[in-house]
Structure 1
Amino acid sequence: MTVETHYRTCPLCEAMCGLVIKTEGEKVLPPIRPDRDDVWSKGFICPKGTTLGHLHEDPDRVRVPLVKDSSGRFREATWEQAYARCEELLHGVRNTHGVDAMTVYVGNPAAHNFSLSRYIGALVMQSGVPMIYSAGTVDQWPKNVSSRCMYGNSWTFPAPDIMRTQYLVVMGANPHASQGSLLACPDVLGEMDKIRERGGKCVVIDPRRTGTCDHADEWIPITPGTDAALLLALGHVLFDEGLVDLGTMADHVNGLEEVRALMASWTPESVEATTRVPADTVRRLAREIAAAESACVYGRIGLCNQEFGTLASWLIDVVNLLTANFDVPGGMMFANPIAPAMVTLNFEEPCEPEFGRWHSRVRGAPEVLGQVPVSCLSEEILTPGEGRIRALVVVAGNPVISSPEAGRLDEALPLLDAMICIDNYVNETTRHADVILPGLSSLEQPHWDELIWSWAARTAGNWSDRIFGFGDRPDEWEVLVRVGALMGGRSNDEIDERAIDDEMFSGLCLFFGLDPTHVLAHYNSAPQNPGGPERITNPTSNGPERMTDFMIRVGHRGDRYGENPDGLTLQHFKDNPHGLDFGPMVPRVPEILHTPSGRIEMAPPYITADVERLYRRLGRDDGMVLISRRHVRSNNSWMHNVRVLMKGKDRCTLLIHPDDAAGIGLGDGSTARVSTEISSIEIPVEVSDEMMPGVVSLPHGWGHGLDGVQLSVAKEFAGVNNNLLAPGELVDKISGNAIVNGIKVEVAPVPG
C-alpha cells in the first residue's frame, strides 16, 4: 500500500498544533510528528497530539449504534433501528409530558469538534426545549457574564497579546497542563520564556506551584477563592498612588469613578490575612504592572469555578483597563478571526443584560445567560411534579464525572424515561443511555476550529481534510439535526436533514445581507459520498464544511461571494496545507462593543453589587480547602483510555504540603480519606511543597471504576472522582457557576 502524508490541526485543545500524520491504507503509522512548517504552531506539539491514531483505532470506541434491550444490555443496531428507538422514546415523553420534560446536556469536547461546534445550535433550535445544561456552568460562565455586562456579548473575550507583552501575570491558569484556555497560542510556556529573554517578567498567582511556575520569575501563593479581593487591592493601589491611566480607552469607558469609589476601602492590608498575600507584595505588583512597557493580567478557570468567580473574572479586565493595557499591542486584545464563530454574532440590537428571567423548578436557581447550574439537573430528574425532566440528550459529555455532586446525578439518570447519547464511548454517563449514537473520530472528519480563533494570539487559519472515510454512516451534523427534529416532534420519515440545513443556512445568508439563492448556487447540489474524494476536496452541498466556507467569505477578509474578488474563500486554505497567517492582533475597540452606550461598561451594577458579599468573606477561616488540577497527559475525563498516556507514576493522588501531612499523620504513599458534607473518598497521598499550606489538590476527570463502563485501559487506572465531594448547591451567586475550587474538606489518615 502507498504511504500517504497528511497535514492536520490537532483538535484536542486551544493550542491548535499542526501535525504530520502518515497513513498506510486504514492504518495510522506512528509516530505522529509536529508540522514544523505550520504557520501557526511552527513545530510545537504536546503528548496528547501524538495519540490521534490511538484514539481512532481504539477498540473500545463505539462505531455502530447501541440500543439497550429489555435486560439492560447494549446491543448493536442499524442506524434505522437506532433512530426508530429514539423516535419511540422521545415522542413518548413529548406526547405524554410535553417539551418542558426534555432537555440537552452539552459537553466540553463539542467546542473542539468540527460538526458539533457548528450544529449544537441546530439541535437545540429543532428540539424546542426551553433550556439546556452544559459544562459551561462548571468552567467558564463567570467570564461569559462579565463579558456580557462589559462588552455586550457573552462570547467576546479579551486575550493576552502574549507574543508582544513585557509583563505577564497568570492567575488561576496552568498552561503547562492546559496549553492555554481562552488564550489560543501554541507553546505558551515558550512564549513566557521569550518574555523573560527580552527583559520582561512573568508572575504566577496560584495556590499551587504548578509547572507553569518553572517558566516564571515569581510564584505568589494565594488562598483559593480570594483572587477578587487581591485584584481589588491592586486597583486600590493604582488609584491611591496616582497610577491609573486608561490610555487609548479613555474615550471608550464608562464607570471609572464608580470603580474608584468601590476600590477605596480595599487596601492591601485589609485583604492580607484572607488572601495570605503580603501587602508589600500587592503594592509592588501594582507598581510593576503600571510601570511596565506593556502588561497582561490573565486569569482563567481557577478564577471562574470559585466562590467569587464573576468578580474575579470582571476585575481581571478592570485592572488591565486601569493600567492602559487594554486593546493595545502587548496588552489584553480582541482576536480578529478569519471566520467568525456563530455564538459571537450579534443577532439582536444592543440591550441591557437581564438575568434571572426565570428560575429552576426545584431549587429556584436564577437563569443566567439561558442556563442554570448543571448541578440542578439531578434534582430536576429526581423531584416529582409537573416539568420533571424525563428525557435527556447528552452530546459529547460525561457529567457523571465532570459535574458537581456527581454521585447524585449517577443515581438520577436511570430514572429517566429516555436518554439518548451522542458519544464515542460507553463511559460513566453513557452507560445509562437507552441509545448511543456514535460520532466520528477526529481523523474521519475535516477540521477548522470554529470558536477557538475568537481568542487567538494571531489572525490565522488552517484547514484539515478528513483522512479516513466513514462509509455509509451519517455525518455528525446529520445526527444532531435528526435528533433535534425528533425531540421537536417530527417523525423519522418527515425529516430531511439537508432541507433543514438549507433553511437555516438561508437565514444566515439573510443576516449577512446576502441573497440565499446566489449563495447556494456556489455549492454542489447533490449529496456526495462521505468517503469519496469529492467530499475531501470540495465544499459539500450541506453541513459544516459549507458553513466554514461561508464564514470565511463573510469574514473581514472574505470575498462575499464575488463582492470582494480578491477576498478569501475556504479554497485558499485548502491550497495552503500549512495554513495562512495574517499577523498579530490589532486594536478593535469600539468595533467589538455591543452595549447600548457603545462604550465599555467598567462598573456594571449587576457585578459591582456582589462586592458586598466578598467583603463579608474577609476574615473567614475555612480550614483545609481543596482545589482541582489537571495534567498535560490528560484531557478532562476522556483520554484515560490511551495506554501510552497512562504510563508513569500514579497521577490520581492527593497533593498536600509537608507541614499539613505531618500534622495530620500522613506520609508519602499513605492513604487519606477526604471528606465534605456530602461524601468522602479515599486516595493515595503525595506529599509536596508545591502546595501552599492549608490547601490540598485532587485531579479531576477520574473515577472510571463504575459498573458498565467499557473503557478497558481507563478502568485499570480508575482513580477517584473528585466531583463526588463538591456540593451541588455551592455556586458563584451571580453566574451560577459551580464552586469546585476552595471547597472546605476534612483530611484524615486511613488506618492500615
Structure 2
Amino acid sequence: MSKTLHHRACHLCEAICGLTIATQTEADGSTQILSIKGDAEDSFSRGHICPKAVALQDIQNDPDRLRQPMRRVGSEWQAIEWEEAFELVANRLADIQARHGQNAVATYHGNPSVHNYGLMTHSNYFLGLLKTRSRFSATSVDQLPHHLVSLQMYGHGFLLPICDIDHSDFMLILGGNPLASNGSIMTVPDVEKRLKAIQARGGKLVVVDPRRSETAAIADQHVFVRPGQDAALLFGLLNTLFEEGLTRSSHLPIAGLDAARQAIAGFTAEAMSARCGVPAESIRQLARDFAAADKAVCYGRMGVSTQAFGTLCHWLIQLINLVTGNLDREGGALCTEAAIDLTTSSSGTHFDRWRSRVSGLPEYSGEFPVAALAEEMLTPGEGQIRALVTVAGNPVLSTPNGRQLERALDGLEFMLSIDFYINETTRYADLILPPTGPLEHDHYDTTFNSFAVRNVARFNEPVLAKPAGALHDWEILVGLAKAFAAKLEVELKPTMAPAQMIDMGLRMGRYGDKSEHQLSLAKLQELPHGIDLGALKPNLAERLRTPDKKVQAAPALLLNDLPRFAAQPVPGAGELLLIGRRHVRSNNSWMHNYHRLVKGKPRHQLLMHPDDLAARDLTDGQRVRISSRVGMIEVEVAQSTDMMPGVVSLPHGWGHDRSGVQLAIAGALPGASVNDLTDERALDAVSGNAALNGLPVEVVAA
C-alpha cells in the first residue's frame, strides 16, 4: 500500500477553494480516498474549506452514479455500448431535424457545465453541428441581468466589475448571502474572514434582504426590503446621491450620465419608501454613509437578479458605484484580469437578434430565456421543439413551473442527457451518457477565475485514474460530433484535448510568454497550490468594448423600462411573497444525495414570521399547503423572526419525490420543489430572466 497527497481546487461552488486530498493505493491496485482537507498553502483560499468539498468522496463512491451509457426501454434502463449510443443519437436527431427543421432540436446547459472545463471547451463541438436557435441554459434563472447590463454599459457581457473586498471599507450587499453561497459572481474563498476584515479595519458591512440571512447576522446593519422592490430602494439611494451632492468624479469616460439622472429624478427616497418598505430617512442615511466611505462597493446578486426588475437593479447598482467614484477603483468594483480572458470571445456580445417562437422573448448570446422552454415544446406549429439534449442539468427542479416542464418532456420524440444521474429531469431521457467523476479528470476554472477577487490561476490534475471503459465529458461530445457529422456527411474540424486549449490560452494571455510570469500549462503543473497574480487593479477604461469606448450610463434599453417600473402598483397589505434560500451544504438541485451534506437539522421547511403564522391559525412545525397561480405543494413550516413579516422563504433544489426518483440516503427528506410554484409568466421583461422572488402565494393548513 502507498499513500499520496494531491492538490486541486474544489469545483462544487464558485469559491474554488484549494484542497489537499490524501489517497491510498491498495495491494490490488485500487485507490481509496483517505481524507479531504483545505490546502493551507493555497494563497487564495488560505486553507478554507466548506462541507461541500468533503463530500467529493461521496460523489466518487455514490452507488447511484451511472458509470456506463444507459438506454431507456419502456420503464427499464439497459446498458448500451458507447459507439452504439453515439450512432443512436446521430440517427434520431438527424431524422427529427430532417422532418421538422433544425430548431426542432433544443439544448439545455445546467449550472455544473461551468464547473467542468471539458463541457466549456467542447460542448459546441457537437451542439454547434445542430445549428439550432433553440438553446437554453440555467443563466436565465440565475444571472442574466448581470451580463446584459455589462453588455449595455461596457460592451461585453463578461466585463463584470467584482467587489474588491480585500481593500473596501464599506460593502453594501443586496440579494446576496455569501456566507451560504461562498460568493457568487464574486469568486471569494474564505469569505467570512474577508467580510470580518472589513469591520476589523474600521469599515462597515450592510446587508439588504427580506430575511436576516447568515451574512446579515454578522453585518453592522441589516435592512429589510420588500421582495421584488430592490429597484425602488436603489432608485432612492441613487437619487439621494444626486440631490444631496454626494457624487464624486470618475476617471472613466462616461456618456449619458445627465440623461440617466434626469430620467430617474421622480423616483426619490420619499416616493420609493412605500414600495420597498424602507423609511425614506433610512434610505437617505444609507446613501450618505455609502458616499462618506473612502472605498465603498455595492454588490447585488441572485436575489436582485431573479425579480421583475432585475435588469434595472443591476443597472442602478453599477450607477451607484460609478457616481460615487467607486467603479474601477481600488476598494470599489474592479474587473478581474484573468489569465484566460473571456472578454476576447464573441460570447456575450449580442442581444435580441432574434426572438422565441411563442412568447417573443429575446435571445442573449444565442440563448433564449429558459422560462420559454416548456411552451416551445408544448405549442404546436412550425419550429416546435421535438427533441432535447440536456448537459449537466435538472431543469424540472431548477426552472419555473417544473410540473409543466415535466409534461413537455414526456411528449418529446427523443431526449439525450449527458449526466451521471437518473434525476427528476433525466428520467425522461431515452439515453443517458455519464462522464467520468470530477476527481477522475483534470480541470481549469476558466469561468470563476474571471470573477475572482484576486487574479489567480491553477491547473488541477486528476486525483484518481480514469476507469476502464469510461469517457470524459469532452470525449463524449467528440464521439457525438463524429457520429453526427458522419450521418450528415459533413467535414468535422479537428480538435484537441481541453488541457492543450488551456495551454494555448495561457500562452496567448496577458500573463503568457511575453509577460514576466510566462504562464503555460507546464508552469501551472509545477505549481500545485496555484499562483497568485496580484490584486485587482483599475483596467476598465482600456477594456471598454462600447462603440465610442465610453461607459454608457443611460442605455436606451434601461430607460425604456422606466415607465413599466413607474406603473407598477404599490404592493398590497396582507399578501404573502415568496423568496428562495441558500444553504452552505447545498448547491441548487445536485447536492442532496450525500450523507455528509444532508445530515443535521432539516432545512427544507418554509420559513414564516410568527405573526403571519398566527394570522392564519398555523403553528410551528405544522404541515402547510402553499399555492400559487401554477401549482400547489405541501411542506413543513418553521417559524422564524428572521423573516420580514409578509415574506416566506423556501429553499431551491428540493422536491426529490417524483415517481421513480428517490434519494439514496435512508431517511432523507425529499422536501418540495419551489419551482412547482414559480411562474413561467413572471419575468424580468427586459432580459427574460425568471422572476423567482416576490412571488405571491397563499399558505394554509395542509
Q: Say whether the fold is shared (TM-score over 0.5).
A: yes
Determine helix, strand or coil for the equivalent of 1:375.
helix
Unaligned runs of 5+ in 2: none
Paired position in structure 2 for 1:20: 20
Residue identity matched to 1:482: G
Paired position in structure 2 for 1:139: 142
How many Å separate the matches in 2 of 1:566 and 1:165? 27
Paired position in structure 1 for 2:470: 473
Match of 1:717 among 669, 687, 700: 669
Confirm or deny: 8 A CA contact 1:296 1:330 kept in the other structure.
Answer: yes
For residues 238-253 of structure 1, the aligned pairs below 5 Å read 238-249=241-252, 252-253=253-254
Determine helix, strand or coil for the equivalent of 2:206.
strand
Q: CA RMSD in A?
A: 1.9
Confirm or deny: 8 A CA contact 1:705 1:715 kept in the other structure.
Answer: no
Confirm or deny: 8 A CA contact 1:213 1:219 kept in the other structure.
Answer: yes
1:391 aligns with 2:387: yes
Determine helix, strand or coil for the equivalent of 2:240.
helix
1:88 aligns with 2:91: yes
Confirm or deny: 8 A CA contact 1:636 1:701 kept in the other structure.
Answer: yes
Cα deviations by residue, 1:223-248 (Å, 9 ceiling, x for unpaired): 01111111111111111111111332
How many Å separate the matches in 2 of 1:143 and 1:10? 25
How many Å separate the matches in 2 of 1:634 and 1:584? 30
Q: Quick check: 127-136 or 219-228, which moved more?
A: 127-136
Cα deviations by residue, 1:91-127 (Å, 9 ceiling, x for unpaired): 2212222212111000011011121122223333222
Confirm or deny: 8 A CA contact 2:162 2:452 kept in the other structure.
Answer: yes
> What is the deviation of 1:40?
1.2
How many Å separate the matches in 2 of 1:265 and 1:80? 64
Residue identity matched to 1:730: A
Determine helix, strand or coil for the equivalent of 2:298.
strand
Paired position in structure 2 for 1:646: 598
> What is the deviation of 1:566?
6.3
Cα deviations by residue, 1:692-724 (Å, 9 ceiling, x for unpaired): 000000011011111222642288321101101
Determine helix, strand or coil for the equivalent of 2:385.
coil
Confirm or deny: 8 A CA contact 1:401 1:721 kept in the other structure.
Answer: yes
> What is the deviation of 1:347?
4.0
Determine helix, strand or coil for the equivalent of 2:42.
coil
Paired position in structure 2 for 1:123: 126
Residue identity matched to 1:689: T
How many Å separate the matches in 1 of 2:271 and 2:684? 23
Paired position in structure 2 for 1:97: 100
Determine helix, strand or coil for the equivalent of 1:490.
helix
Residue identity matched to 2:96: V
Residue identity matched to 2:690: A
Residue identity matched to 1:474: L
How many Å separate the matches in 1 of 2:671 and 2:246? 49
Confirm or deny: 8 A CA contact 1:501 1:543 kept in the other structure.
Answer: no
For residues 514-663 of structure 1, the aligned pairs below 5 Å read 542-559=496-513, 567-621=518-572, 623-663=575-615
Identity score, percent: 41
Confirm or deny: 8 A CA contact 1:204 1:218 kept in the other structure.
Answer: yes
Determine helix, strand or coil for the equivalent of 1:745.
strand
How many Å separate the matches in 1 of 2:610 and 2:368? 39
Paired position in structure 2 for 1:706: 658
Paired position in structure 1 for 2:313: 312
How many Å separate the matches in 2 of 1:455 and 1:638? 23
How many Å separate the matches in 2 of 1:714 and 1:120? 36
Confirm or deny: 8 A CA contact 1:238 1:286 kept in the other structure.
Answer: yes
How many Å separate the matches in 1 of 2:448 and 2:669? 31
> What is the deviation of 1:744?
0.6
Paired position in structure 1 for 2:299: 298
Q: Structure 1 residues 153 and 714 mapped into 2: Cα distance closer, same or farther (>3 Å)?
A: farther
1:42 aligns with 2:46: yes
Confirm or deny: 8 A CA contact 1:134 1:374 kept in the other structure.
Answer: yes
> What is the deviation of 1:165?
0.2
How many Å separate the matches in 2 of 1:377 and 1:551? 34
How many Å separate the matches in 1 of 2:515 and 2:219? 46
> What is the deviation of 1:187?
1.5
Match of 2:451 among 455, 465, 478: 455
How many Å separate the matches in 1 of 2:285 and 2:170? 13
Confirm or deny: 8 A CA contact 2:400 2:692 kept in the other structure.
Answer: yes
Cα deviations by residue, 1:382-412 (Å, 9 ceiling, x for unpaired): 2222211111100000001101010011111
> What is the deviation of 1:564?
6.0
Confirm or deny: 8 A CA contact 2:598 2:668 kept in the other structure.
Answer: no
Cα deviations by residue, 1:507-545 (Å, 9 ceiling, x for unpaired): xxxxxxxxxxxxxxxxxxxxxxxxxxxxxxxxxxx2110
How many Å separate the matches in 1 of 2:19 and 2:517? 29
Residue identity matched to 1:617: Q
Paired position in structure 2 for 1:529: none
> What is the deviation of 1:87?
2.2
Q: Structure 1 residues 484 and 173 mapped into 2: Cα distance closer, same or farther (>3 Å)?
A: farther
Match of 1:681 among 628, 633, 645: 633
Residue identity matched to 1:34: G
For residues 423-462 of structure 1, the aligned pairs below 5 Å read 423-462=419-458
> What is the deviation of 1:474?
2.7
Confirm or deny: 8 A CA contact 2:24 2:34 kept in the other structure.
Answer: no
Residue identity matched to 1:309: G
How many Å separate the matches in 2 of 1:501 and 1:608? 46
Paired position in structure 1 for 2:402: 406
1:730 aligns with 2:669: no
Q: Structure 1 residues 634 and 564 mapped into 2: Cα distance closer, same or farther (>3 Å)?
A: closer
Q: Structure 1 residues 554 and 278 mapped into 2: Cα distance closer, same or farther (>3 Å)?
A: same
Determine helix, strand or coil for the equivalent of 1:44.
coil
Determine helix, strand or coil for the equivalent of 1:424.
coil
Q: Structure 1 residues 384 and 603 mapped into 2: Cα distance closer, same or farther (>3 Å)?
A: same
How many Å separate the matches in 1 of 2:385 and 2:666? 31
Determine helix, strand or coil for the equivalent of 2:486.
coil
> What is the deviation of 1:61?
0.4
How many Å separate the matches in 2 of 1:577 and 1:105? 34
How many Å separate the matches in 2 of 1:564 and 1:192? 33
Confirm or deny: 8 A CA contact 2:207 2:219 kept in the other structure.
Answer: yes
After TM superposition, the score normalised by the length of structure 1 is 0.90
Paired position in structure 2 for 1:288: 289
How many Å separate the matches in 2 of 1:490 and 1:68? 25
How many Å separate the matches in 1 of 2:290 and 2:544? 26
Cα deviations by residue, 1:543-563 (Å, 9 ceiling, x for unpaired): 11011111111110101xxx6
1:154 aligns with 2:157: yes
Determine helix, strand or coil for the equivalent of 1:699.
coil
Paired position in structure 2 for 1:525: none
Residue identity matched to 2:694: G
Q: Quick check: 568-577 or 365-374, which moved more?
A: 365-374
Unaligned runs of 5+ in 1: 503-541
Q: Quick check: 130-139 or 398-407, which moved more?
A: 130-139
How many Å separate the matches in 2 of 1:556 and 1:133? 32
1:746 aligns with 2:667: no
Determine helix, strand or coil for the equivalent of 2:166.
coil
Determine helix, strand or coil for the equivalent of 1:712.
coil
How many Å separate the matches in 2 of 1:318 and 1:641? 42
1:482 aligns with 2:479: yes
Determine helix, strand or coil for the equivalent of 1:681.
strand
Paired position in structure 1 for 2:235: 232
Paired position in structure 2 for 1:532: none
Paired position in structure 1 for 2:58: 54
Paired position in structure 1 for 2:493: 500
Cα deviations by residue, 1:259-281 (Å, 9 ceiling, x for unpaired): 21123222111111110111111
Residue identity matched to 2:545: H
Q: Structure 1 residues 551 and 714 mapped into 2: Cα distance closer, same or farther (>3 Å)?
A: farther
Confirm or deny: 8 A CA contact 2:401 2:679 kept in the other structure.
Answer: yes
Paired position in structure 2 for 1:197: 200
Determine helix, strand or coil for the equivalent of 1:321.
helix
> What is the deviation of 1:359?
2.5
How many Å separate the matches in 1 of 2:123 and 2:168? 36
Runs of 4 or more above 6 Å deviation:
none
> What is the deviation of 1:354?
4.8
